[in-house]
Amino acid sequence: MSSLSPLKNLNVYLLKYRWYFLFGILCVILSNVFSIYIPVFVRQGIDDALFVSRISSIPNSNILYSGALLNAMGFGLAILIAAILKGVFMYFMRQLIVVNSRRIEFDQKNQLFKKYLRLDETFFRNNYTGDLMNRITEDISNVRMYMGPSIMYFANILFSFVLIVFQMWMVNHTLAMWVLIPLPFLSYSIYRVSQKINIGNKKIQEQLSIITTKAQETFAGIRVIKSFGAESSFNKDFYQSGKELKKKSIELAKINALFFPLMAFLMGISTVIVLYIGGLEVEKGLFTAGNVAEFIIYLNMLIWPVASLGWTTALVQKASASQKRINDFLDQKEVVNPGTNAFQFEKNIELVDLTYQYNDKNYPALININLEIKKGLSYGIVGKTGSGKSTLIQILSRQLSVEGQDYLVDGRTILDFELSNFRSKIAYVQQDVFLFSASIKDNILVGAEREVSEKELQEVLKLSTLDSDLKLFNDGIETVIGERGVSLSGGQKQRLSLARALLRDADIYLLDDCLSAVDAETESKIIENLSNTKKSKTWIMSSHRVAPILNSNEIWVLEDGSITARGNHKYLIENNHFYQWLNENQQDL
């Protein structure tokens, strides 16, 4: 049973939707009660009809005859009514339980997606996108099969089995026993076949995701493939994966083909037993022909629950495996966020002896960083590629978790502040631009929490000098940029993400080497624009060249994760050799 323990996490949903489940199960019981009447009416109808045909040859039996005929017809009508009622309750049991599982699926998807959004950068580096996608599609849909169909079938199996066996037992003990003998075999073999089908399905899913990833990568890297003339090797690779998929699909089809013949075979055996033993009993006069028909109907009614027991068990196992994977994600540690206070920044931010090391590295990316950021001033971080500039900015923006004592705001630990509130008060431009495949305007408006006026929009376009570029696009700001912005140049992408950040009414602006692909002339124009806007705000900008940061109030020189010098441009030029060197060789880095 311990293999099913991951499903415990779903009990909250059972509780949340308990009325659906309770009424659903009530409908299961009622539909079974009505269906159990059908064979009884069939037996009585047949026996009456046989009686009618026997007495019709006897003279002067008119009254008896018409009475029996009426009876037989009455049973026919009763069968019809019972069948209708059974159908009605079956409809409601599906509505209540299976339809409800869609609600649970919806809840669970949202729960998982919300969780994803709260996890930090490290998590996304350690998990493949395809895997994350599978959790939220495949696995959740497996779990839905448990929360809906499986629960319904289990209830149905239980009640129909008890009712039918009881009914058979009342009619004839011996025959009931004989009929039940093949059933465990049926159930077990269906269980095994279902398991095989599930395994086959899983293999196909895996192969499919390999193929999807391959196709995706091929299209994304089509320029590399073409320029290196690698088409044929990619084609061969794709062909092989497709062949593998075909093989696995055919294997599965073979197993699938076994399913119904197997059921029919075992059912046939039981039917033969009923006919044979039932026939003997009829001969002895212990049983009527109607009883035989009744039994065959019971048997038919039993087959489905017994077969679905095996199938449902396999479903539950699959759901449990899926839920375990989902639980693994739900149990992931989120970005440390114990604080509840709104972010307030009056005087200064300090980093105290901060050292940061990435999990998968054996040396720290930042070593003993001590610095003070005063409100309303501008700061520059300069250093070679790999010196730790982006890491420092990610720490300041709390993309990476810190201890708390090493990151202080007005003397309070940063962990006092609520994370999302903190983030709403910073504007962070990443070094690696990410754009959505939407219009330029929508990309700029990502994260804008308020109504943005046309004037504000024009303003940020001007500050980032995007306005002149937009004139060259057919649809201007409404131009839809291709997947991840492929239709824009590197510099345009960077300026777009700068515009996006400038639109925010933030306390602190963090710009991570965000003009590296912009030409020198445009760069100096942007820097000048920026120095004339939002002067009361705090600016921190990193760059591997001196030019963009040289007007900062204070510049920090980063070398291999350590701050080796600080001061304004004039001071550093006079006192720091490395800075001088950077300044002179800035185009070559």
Ligand X SMILES: Nc1ncnc2c1ncn2[C@@H]1O[C@H](COP(=O)(O)OP(=O)(O)O)[C@@H](O)[C@H]1O
Q: Which residues here bind ligand X, judged by CB under 6 A?
A: 125, 358, 360-361, 365, 383, 385-391
- Give which of Mg ion, ligand X, none residue 387 binds (C-beta under 5 to 8 Å, depending on kind): ligand X
CB of 348 to ligand X, least distance (A): 23
Q: What whole-number distance in Å separates Cα of residue 391 and Cα of residue 387?
A: 9
Expressed in angstroms, the distance from the first to the final Cα of the chain is: 61
- Give which of ligand X, Mg ion, none residue 386 binds (C-beta under 5 to 8 Å, depending on kind): ligand X
Nearer to ligand X, 21 or 556 (CB): 556
- Give which of ligand X, Mg ion, none residue 388 binds (C-beta under 5 to 8 Å, depending on kind): ligand X
**Cβ-contact 114, 107 below 8 angstroms:** no
- Give which of Mg ion, ligand X, none residue 129 binds (C-beta under 5 to 8 Å, depending on kind): none
Q: What contacts 24+ positions apart, CB below 8 Å, involve 256-260?
A: 256/197, 258/193, 259/190, 259/193, 259/197
CB of 542 to ligand X, least distance (A): 7
Q: Residue 428: which of 513, 355, 342 has the closest Cα?
A: 513
Nearer to ligand X, 198 or 516 (CB): 516
Distances (CA, A) of 466 to 58, 448, 474, 482, 512: 105, 18, 14, 18, 19
CB of 382 to ligand X, least distance (A): 9
- Give which of ligand X, Mg ion, none residue 358 binds (C-beta under 5 to 8 Å, depending on kind): ligand X
Greatest Cα pair distance, the chain, in angstroms, is: 134
Tokens of 98: 């299976």
Helix (H, G, I), strand (E, B) or coil at 369: strand
CB of 429 to Mg ion, least distance (A): 12
Nearer to ligand X, 227 or 359 (CB): 359
CB of 255 to ligand X, least distance (A): 44
CB of 431 to Mg ion, least distance (A): 5
- Give which of Mg ion, ligand X, none residue 271 binds (C-beta under 5 to 8 Å, depending on kind): none
- Give which of ligand X, Mg ion, none residue 383 binds (C-beta under 5 to 8 Å, depending on kind): ligand X
Nearer to ligand X, 245 or 336 (CB): 336
Mutual orientation of helices 99-118 and 18-55 as an angle, nearest 10°?
160
Nearer to ligand X, 322 or 516 (CB): 516
**Cβ-contact 310, 188 below 8 angstroms:** yes
The conformational region for residue 342 under phi > 0 = left, psi -120 to 50 = alpha, else beta, is beta
Nearer to ligand X, 365 or 460 (CB): 365
Q: Residue 147: which of 117, 109, 184, 180 has the closest Cα?
A: 109
Helices (H), 331-437: 389-396, 419-424
Q: What whole-number distance in Å separates Cα of residue 399 and Cα of residue 123?
A: 11
Nearer to ligand X, 61 or 562 (CB): 562
Distances (CA, A) of 67 to 38, 74, 111: 22, 10, 65
Q: Which residues, in sequence order, are bridge partners of residue 540?
A: 379, 510
Nearer to ligand X, 128 or 358 (CB): 358
- Give which of ligand X, Mg ion, none residue 391 binds (C-beta under 5 to 8 Å, depending on kind): ligand X
CB of 546 to ligand X, least distance (A): 14
Tokens of 45: 């109808």
Nearer to ligand X, 44 or 542 (CB): 542
- Chain position whose Cβ is nearest to ligand X: 390
CB of 511 to Mg ion, least distance (A): 11
CB of 392 to ligand X, least distance (A): 7
- Give which of ligand X, Mg ion, none residue 273 binds (C-beta under 5 to 8 Å, depending on kind): none
By the criterion CB under 5 A, which residues form the site for Mg ion? 389-390, 431
Nearer to ligand X, 389 or 569 (CB): 389
Nearer to ligand X, 41 or 556 (CB): 556
Alpha carbon 515 to chain centroid, angstroms = 36
Q: What whole-number distance in Å separates Cα of residue 245 and Cα of residue 242?
A: 5
The conformational region for residue 510 under phi > 0 = left, psi -120 to 50 = alpha, else beta, is beta
Nearer to Mg ion, 144 or 389 (CB): 389
CB of 351 to Mg ion, least distance (A): 18
Question: In the sheet where 412-413 sits, what is the strand order?
Answer: 366-374, 348-356, 407-409, 412-413
CB of 388 to ligand X, least distance (A): 4
Phi, psi (rounded to 5 degrees) for 551: -95, 5
Beta pairing, strands 508-512 & 538-543:
parallel
- Give which of Mg ion, ligand X, none residue 365 binds (C-beta under 5 to 8 Å, depending on kind): ligand X
- Chain position whose Cβ is nearest to Mg ion: 390
CB of 329 to ligand X, least distance (A): 20
Mutual orientation of helices 183-220 and 289-330 as an angle, nearest 10°?
40
